[in-house]
């Protein structure tokens, strides 16, 4: 599907963007792969590390619509991964999150429509579901913008979202923090009841490729992913180390949710994924979900504490 296509990744020097770029270059005969990001040093290092003639680099910010339009000229597919993501930081810098995660996402939509891009996928998060922090709220707005973006393109440019939980190996995660502090005398845990969804980077790539293959415009694609209790994660990575319970941080949840009861009413299980369908402006292609997918019961909810699939400490270490 991507052979001889030009693909652009916003936030392409981040954990997901950089690793997804390597995945695409290894797997597909791309015409070009454009990395769009703000950090010149990371771009310089990535160019030297990859050493691939198909790579192109654009210094730019998703807050800058003219720069985005220039970068998207001749692009077939866009993966929108650029975002501000640190929950505590964004609680204290709220409008910076709004400018990047909301206004920046709208700029991606505008530029993609103006430049005739075929498909655009937003990388979203479980924190966008029933959000309690600013980061999640801005990603919820980004999802809504992407879904509604299909209403005024005549479906010439298709917009869809993928939504998943914590990624093993992502930059700034608790896993990375624990690895860096080894050996340590004490570790801090906010609440012993806390659970989270976890998936390997490769699974996030497969989710994006599934979305690009199947999307009609307006869907939210969600993978079936396992959960883990944070106490089990800490025990696996730092066995026997003393724990200090600090209490839940501002904007933090005990458990995360990937699919709500309300969303289940217009969602199906399709080829091993949950697909939330838009409630308006559906093109004809959506009948494939209804014909071959399994309609979900209204009371279905996919949350990290109610998950049927749980990771043990040993399984987590194997995934790492």
Other beta carbons within 10 angstroms of residue 250's beta carbon come to: 11
Within a 13 Å sphere around the CA of 3, how many CA atoms are in the beta-carbon half? Answer: 3
Q: For the packed helices 40-50 and 15-27, what is the interaxial angle rounded to 10 degrees?
A: 30
Three-state secondary-structure class, residue 150:
helix
Other beta carbons within 10 angstroms of residue 206's beta carbon come to: 16
Residue 124's DSSP bridge partners are 163
Q: Which residues are catalytic?
A: 127
Are 181 and 187 in contact by the 8 Å Cβ rule? The answer is yes
Nearby residues of 3 by Cβ (< 8 Å), 6 or more positions away: 28, 29, 30
Residue 209: alpha-carbon gap to chain centroid: 13
**Integer Cα distance of 166 and 127 in angstroms:** 10
Nearby residues of 154 by Cβ (< 8 Å), 6 or more positions away: none
Cα distances from 46 to residues 21, 67, 202, 293, in angstroms, run: 10, 21, 19, 40
């Amino acid at each position: 599907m991507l052979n001889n296509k030009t693909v652009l990744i916003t936030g392409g020097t981040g954990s997901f963007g950089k690793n997804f770029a390597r995945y695409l270059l290894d797997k597909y005969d791309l015409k070009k792969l454009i990395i769009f990001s703000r950090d010149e040093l990371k771009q310089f290092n990535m160019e030297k590390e990859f050493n691939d003639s198909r790579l192109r680099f654009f210094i730019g910010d998703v807050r800058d619509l003219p720069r985005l339009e220039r970068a998207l000229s001749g692009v077939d597919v866009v993966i929108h991964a650029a975002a501000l993501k640190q929950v505590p930081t964004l609680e204290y810098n709220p409008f910076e999150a709004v400018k990047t995660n909301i206004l920046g996402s709208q700029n991606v939509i505008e530029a993609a429509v103006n430049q005739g891009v075929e498909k655009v996928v937003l990388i979203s998060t479980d924190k966008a579901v029933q959000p309690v922090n600013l980061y999640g709220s801005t990603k919820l707005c980004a999802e809504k913008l992407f879904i509604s973006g299909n209403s005024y393109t005549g479906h010439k440019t298709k917009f869809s979202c993928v939504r998943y939980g914590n990624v093993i190996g992502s930059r700034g995660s608790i896993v990375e923090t624990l690895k860096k502090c080894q050996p340590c005398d004490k570790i801090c845990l906010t609440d012993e009841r806390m659970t989270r969804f976890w998936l390997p980077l490769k699974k996030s790539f497969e989710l994006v490729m599934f979305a690009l293959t199947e999307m009609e415009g307006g869907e939210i694609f969600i993978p079936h992913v396992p959960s883990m209790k944070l106490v089990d994660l800490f025990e696996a990575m730092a066995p026997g180390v003393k724990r200090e319970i600090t209490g839940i941080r501002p904007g933090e949840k005990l458990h995360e949710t990937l699919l709500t009861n309300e969303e289940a009413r217009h969602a199906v299980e399709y080829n091993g994924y949950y697909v939330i369908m838009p409630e308006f402006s559906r093109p004809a292609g959506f009948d494939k979900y209804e014909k071959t997918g399994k309609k979900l019961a209204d009371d279905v909810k996919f949350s990290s504490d109610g998950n049927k699939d749980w990771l043990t400490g040993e399984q987590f270490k194997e995934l790492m």
